[in-house]
Structure 1
Amino acid sequence: MIQLITLDMAGTTVTDHHEVEACFAMAAQKSGLTVSDDRILAMQGLHKYFVFQTLWEEILGTTTHPEWQMRVDNSYRVFTEVLENHYLTHDITPTEGCLELFEYLHIHQIKIALTTGFYRKVCNIILEKLGWLEGLDDTHVGTASTTIQASITSDEVEKGRPHPFMIQKAMNLLHISDPQQVINVGDTPSDIQSGFAANCRLSVALSNGTHAADLLTPHNPSLLLGSLHELIPVLEDLRTRS
């Protein structure tokens, strides 16, 4: 029986018009980092500080370069300023089928945990604007009556995606011991990989987020769906067979 669904935020449960990529590209340009749009897209879903570490290492050739740390920190600082301003000043909406899925999960007492490569401040800006922060405690855990039951950011675990730690933290917070009772859902290759790393029952990919189907298929997701709405019949089938 499925007890928990872990879902990515930007592009999966939160509508994303490639604004994260745009914010990243703007921060890169402002901080002197040369990077292509395709490279930025390929690293979606990863912790953004790690992304800047990786990109500056590629440019400078090594992490021991005397300017590497300074450039990483500066790029990340500019990115956080751009990103926070964007989400504070723009509308934020759920993705297609998200609210319908949440309603189904509540009816069938399946817990909802949102995971994200964002850091806590930006995550909370988004959650608050959507009304999903209401009722969560200081550890960002809710109750059966809150919209979501847990929120986990990549800066709150040892390592972000593609590692399994955010999913495993959600399981621990919500007292789920068996990963075969968990379905992970996301719209990036790193989302898929984290679900497999956590040994989830299914690691589901969505093609209506940041990555099109042809970019997700090579990573062999358990299922490739067009929207969260399509997950409901999958869950219904699992429920009736359990």
Structure 2
Amino acid sequence: MIKLVVLDMAGTTVADDGLVERAFTQAIGEVGVAEDGAAFPGMLDYVRRTMGESKITVFRHLLDGDEDRAQQANQAFERAYAERVADGDCREIDGAAAAIRRLRDNDIKVALTTGFSETTQRQIIDALGWGGLTDLTLTPAQAGRGRPYPDMVLTALLRLGIDDVREVATVGDTAYDVRSGLRAGASIVAGVLTGAHDRAAFTEAGATHVLESVRDLLGLVLPAKEDLS
């Protein structure tokens, strides 16, 4: 029986609509990498492949471990993303909030996790009116490390009083989400096709399930008698 569901945000419960790529383009430009420069296409490809990973970790890799530039780029990314959220360029994946409520109505705890900072996560939650929607929200800084490490999943388990990792389900739109869930020992580790990665990427990463949407998780974790309509 699943007692905790750990959900990713951007691409899983919150529509990305290219926000990450646009914020990245602005941020990397602030540390001297022009969009028409020779290095930019390779950097953007890396960002796409590592969607779901902690953003500061991505910038450290792209900027060859230059911590000052990585921190500057990360802060610029958070500002750029927040500006777009404030402008109303933020919406939920259809049915995500209703699915979360249905899970909690069935005594399943729900945690929202992200690779963003706590400030950006809070701005997204406020913009969507999701305050109090879940039992817990977590960022890499609050848990220790970001994906693909298991820290956020295990932190959610500990804070919410779950006794067994096999009582946990994880859902995300990237292979990094899948690896995090598997490393944590979750019994359901699902990829969703509403975000960055495709079915082949999830299969290669070892996902237990590939879902069209987070809404489809209900059919996996709720009792068979529960009306899913």
Contact 2:4 2:169 in 1 (8 A): yes
The answer to whether the aligner puts 1:95 opposite 2:81 as a matched pair is no
The one-character-per-residue Cα deviations of 1:51-77 (angstroms, maximum 9, x if unpaired) are: 1101111xxxxx4xxxx2332222223
SS of equivalent residue, structure 2 residue 40: coil
Q: Which amino acid aligns with 1:114?
A: L
CA distance in structure 1 between the partners assigned to 2:102 and 2:153 by the alignment = 21
**Distance in 1, Cα, partners of 2:225 & 2:51:** 32
- Distance in structure 2 (CA, Å) of the matches to 1:52 and 1:166: 20
- Structure 2: stretches of 5+ with no match in the other structure: 34-38
For residues 91 and 77 of structure 2, the distance between their equivalents in structure 1, rounded to whole angstroms, comes to 22
Cα offset, 1:215, TM superposition: 3.1
Q: The residue matched to 1:147 in structure 2 has which SS?
A: coil
| Aligned residue number for residue 192 of structure 1 | 178
The answer as to whether partners of 1:31 and 1:78 remain within 8 angstroms in 2 is no
Change (3 A) 1:174 1:84: same
CA-CA distance at 1:238 after TM superposition: 7.2
Q: Separation in 2 of the partners of 1:237 and 1:109?
A: 11
Selected match of 1:222 from 208, 214, 221: 208
User: Aligned pair 1:47/2:54, yes or no?
Assistant: yes
| Contact 2:5–2:168, Cα closer than 8 Å, also in 1 | yes
Structure 1 residue 24, shift from structure 2 partner: 0.9
Q: In 2, distance between residues paired with 1:92 and 1:74?
A: 24
Distance 1:204 1:238, change over 3 A: farther
C-alpha displacement of 1:164: 0.6
What's the counterpart of residue 144 of structure 2? 158
Instruction: Choose which of 67, 75, 86 in structure 1 pairs with 2:84.
Output: 86
TM-score, scaled to structure 2: 0.89
Q: Are 2:218 and 1:232 equivalent residues in the alignment?
A: yes
Contact 1:18-1:210 at 8 Å conserved across structures: no
Q: Is the 8 A contact 1:2 1:239 kept in 2?
A: no
* Alpha-carbon distance change, 73 to 91 in structure 1, aligned in 2, over 3 angstroms: closer
Q: Distance between the aligned counterparts of 2:162 and 2:71, measured in 1?
A: 37
In structure 2, relative to structure 1, the CA distance for the partners of 1:17 and 1:231 (3 Å cut) is same
State, as a whole percentage, how many aligned pairs show the same letter: 30
Distance 1:202 1:218, change over 3 A: same
Aligned CA RMSD, in angstroms, stands at 1.8
Question: Letter of the aligned partner of 1:21 in structure 2?
Answer: E
Q: Is the 8 A contact 2:78 2:117 kept in 1?
A: no
Aligned to 2:36: none
Contact kept? 2:171, 2:178, Cα under 8 Å: yes
Distance 1:127 1:166 in 2: 18
* 1:1-242 equivalence runs, <5 A: 1-33=1-33, 34-36=39-41, 37-57=44-64, 63=65, 68-133=66-131, 146-236=132-222
- CA apart distance, 1:18: 1.9
**Residues 113 and 30 (structure 1 numbering): CA distance in 2 closer, same or farther, change over 3 Å?**
same
Aligned-partner Cα distance in 2 for 1:92–1:208: 15
Alpha-carbon distance between aligned partners in 2 of 1:77 and 1:99, rounded to the nearest angstrom: 29
Q: Distance in 2 between matches of 1:165 and 1:47?
A: 12
Runs of 4+ residues over 3 Å off in structure 1: 236-240
Aligned length: 219
Structure 1: gaps (5+ residues): 58-62, 134-145
The answer to whether the Cα contact below 8 Å between 2:27 and 2:77 also exists between their aligned partners in 1 is yes
Equivalent-residue separation in structure 2 for 1:165 and 1:154 (angstroms): 8
Q: CA deviation at 1:220?
A: 2.0
